[in-house]
Amino acid sequence: MITLSTKQRRNIVHHLIRCGILGAFGLYIVYLARTGTLVLFVEPNLAVPVKLSAIGLFATAIYQFQSAVQEWQGIEAAACDCNHEPPRSLLANLVVYTLFLLPLAIGIIF
């Protein structure tokens, strides 16, 4: 049985939340493209780059999921030390994630 520290559990949760948000944005772009409503949100000349950005969002979501799995397995992060620690405050985390979830929720609801 793997015992995880509180810091590892926090990091896993943050990686999974980021994975979900990035994947949801990618799926939303794909949905808009499939329904033909993407041009209501972006300039028609930019529709192709926005569609391609969904691939980047999916790739980044996969990376975040991989980071969560590696953290769960206890594998050390890359030597670049380029990860940013999330804020310790629950309120700060809610504000940051709400800034990303609010536009997504508004787009899905309306």
CA distance 97 to 91: 10
pTM score: 0.85
Q: Over the stretch 2-26, which tens digit does the pLDDT of each residue have? A: 677 888 888 899 999 999 999 999 9
Per-residue pLDDT tens digits for 26-82: 999 999 999 999 999 999 999 999 999 999 999 999 999 999 999 888 877 665 566
Q: Which uninterrupted H or E stretch holds 87? A: none
Running DSSP on this structure, what letter comes out for residue 44? Answer: G
Q: Could you tell me the pLDDT band of residue 85, with boundaries at 50, 70 and 90?
A: confident
In 1-110 the beta strands, taken as DSSP E runs, fall at none
Q: Which residues are CB-contacts of 62 (< 8 A; sequence separation ≥ 6)?
A: 19
Measured in residues, the chain has a length of 110
Question: Mean pLDDT score of the chain, rounded to an integer?
Answer: 89
DSSP classification of residue 101: H
Is the CB of residue 72 less than 8 Å from the CB of residue 2? yes
